[in-house]
Structure formats: structure tokens, C-alpha cells
Amino acid sequence: MSKVITLHEFIMDRQSDFPFATGELSRLLSDIAVASKIVSNDVRRAGLLENFLGAQGSTNIQGEEQQKLDVIADNQFINAFQTGGEVCGIASEENDDFMPFESQFSKNGKYVVLFDPLDGSSNIDVNVSIGTIFSIYHRKSEIGTSATLEDMLQPGDEQIAAGYVLYGSSTMLVYTTGKGVNGFTLDPSIGEFCLSHPDMKTPEMGRIYAMNEGNVNICDPGIKEYIEAKCQQILEGAERPYSGRYIGSLVADFHRNLIKGGIYIYPATTVDPEGKLRLLYECNPLAFIAEQAGGLASTGRERILSIKPERLHQRVPFFIGSKAMIEQAESFLK
């Protein structure tokens, strides 16, 4: 039986990937792992705890009804970042504005984190997988000062680390620091994330497409043409068409496609003219992972990681997954 490698051991081992590393990023990743374990525990008990389930009775800046667990998870990660000392400020889907941490302890932090604490939270009450997505940047502002909006509005190519936690049939943490993608599964018996998916690579081609097809007549007609011509036909050499799989939880759909190959599409529609998904804390971190695993991520016309953000909660059309499938879908866009 091969040696179990915990996330903490892995992070320590890989610290040498960064010759100038002083351990802050390692500690930050460990802080995220601890917060993820706590949120995982909350998610798995939510159905049993009256004050964990259901709506918070408020809406976030997205205009979405906040679930109680959204707020619980948001607070859990903010607390981890505030007490860890590596982070000088954050931006979160659940907070209208970015949040500079004002203690001198935090002002000396080198990093900012942008995150969606619980993506897909409308699925909580029906026991469908949900996830956390995070994106880490070096601050641009001077150490010792308050974090600025400019610290948050950096192109995805500037990320120094990104990852997600999937609260699914098991709890997994998948992340990259720009040297490949590695996946860790939480072993509840020891309370540790253990390396289960080393050096993840996504297949160049897949046979799964994930899209809310209810939108197919209110988006670029090229998408309907792509789905009908490439996903819903028995193509040469195949025995059957592609499979449509849409969980309605981005992290779950992305993770399945990362492993099996596939494409996830959330286009601009007449309802969401800029697209639904948020560039800074959903699209950029997953795009970093996708590219590190050999896949692609675009708006259908522009590479996600190249976009210079203009607004904190900016939305973009989102095509992400297997390289050949993204390129094929893009070729159908008008």
C-alpha cells in the first residue's frame, strides 16, 4: 500500500517549487484547507440543523437570495483569512464591496483572495453537490497599507494559486500554483485531505456537454447549431451521441468534465446579456486550473485569463473544458 500523502505534507514538499518562498503561501493554502473542512462538516449536517438550512432572508449584490449556509461559509473563510495573517483583504460573491483587513497584522499580508464561498447553494436544500472556489493574487499595493480595489481587479494570468472544494459524494480540494493540478480527498477518519488525484490532466476531447438547454433559444444561435451538429448526432466512428450532463452546480460539472473530458457552457443570454458567471471568483480560478490541466477557458471569443477586470462582480460568458471541444464550439459562434 503506497504512503498516504496529506495536503499539508504535499504543500511543504512543493514549497521548494518557489525558491523565494517564505512559507506564507503554504500557510495560506493550509488555512483554506482547515476552513474547507469546517464548511464540509457544516454542509453535511445542514439538513439536521434548523439554523443551517434554508434562506437567510437577505439577497446579495447578485440579486440572489442568500442561503444560511452561504453566509456561514462566507464568514468561515473570512475568519480564516483574517486570523492567518497572510491576507490583507478579500472579495467574495456574498459581499457587496471588497474587504480590506484593517489590523496592522493583516495589513502586512502579501496576498488577496477572491472567492465564492458556496457556489450552487440553491442546491443545498435538495442535497446536490456544491462547492467553494478561490483565487489568490499577490497584492499590488504596498505591504503595511490597506488593500485596494486595484489589488482585486487583476487579470487571471496574474493568479499565483487557484482552487476549488467540492462537497460531493466525498469532499475534494483541487488546486494549482501554476505547476500542474493536484486533487486531494478528505479522509473523515483522520480529518486530513489526502492526495488522490496527482498531476490531473483533462482529456483533449470528451463526449459530455453541460449546459442549461433551457437557454438554447435565448443565446447565440451558433451554440444551438454546435449542440445539434456535434453533441446530438452519432458522429463518424461513434456508437451514440454525446451525453448531456448538467448538475446546475458549476464546481460539480467542472470537476466531472476535468476528469472525464467535456465542455461546460454558460453563454450570454437575453436574460443575462453578459453571462451569469462571475469573472473574478468563478471563471478565473477554474480557467487557471483548466489550462494547467491541458484544457481551455474562454468567453467564446476571448481567453478568460487575459481579461482585464473592470468591476468586482463582473460577469462573462463562460466556455470551459476539453481543448478540442472548446475550439469546436467557438467555431460555431456567430
Contact residues for ligand P6P, defined by CB under 6 A? 119-120, 122, 212, 248-250, 253, 276-277
Nearest-angstrom CA–CA distance, 271 and 257: 26
Residue 277 Cβ vs ligand P6P, minimum distance, rounded to whole Å = 6
Residue 41: Cβ within 10 Å count: 15
Residue 78: Cβ within 10 Å count: 21
Which is closer to ligand P6P, CB of 230 or CB of 278? 278
Residue 264 Cβ vs ligand P6P, minimum distance, rounded to whole Å = 7
Burial of 58 per CB tally in 10 Å (0-12, 13-18, 19+): exposed
Which is closer to ligand P6P, CB of 222 or CB of 248? 248
Which is closer to ligand P6P, CB of 109 or CB of 120? 120
Half-sphere exposure for 94 (CA within 13 Å, toward CB): 25
Q: What stretches of the chain adopt beta strand conformation (E)?
A: 55-59, 65-67, 87-92, 99-100, 111-119, 130-138, 161-167, 171-176, 181-187, 192-197, 208-210, 243-244, 263-266, 296-298, 318-321
SS3 142: coil
Which is closer to ligand P6P, CB of 100 or CB of 131? 131
Nearest-angstrom CA–CA distance, 157 and 308: 10
Residue 220 Cβ vs ligand P6P, minimum distance, rounded to whole Å = 16
Residue 21 Cβ vs ligand P6P, minimum distance, rounded to whole Å = 33
Which is closer to ligand P6P, CB of 152 or CB of 277? 277
Which is closer to ligand P6P, CB of 1 or CB of 271? 271
Residue 59 Cβ vs ligand P6P, minimum distance, rounded to whole Å = 13
Residue 20 Cβ vs ligand P6P, minimum distance, rounded to whole Å = 36
Residue 229 one-letter amino acid: A
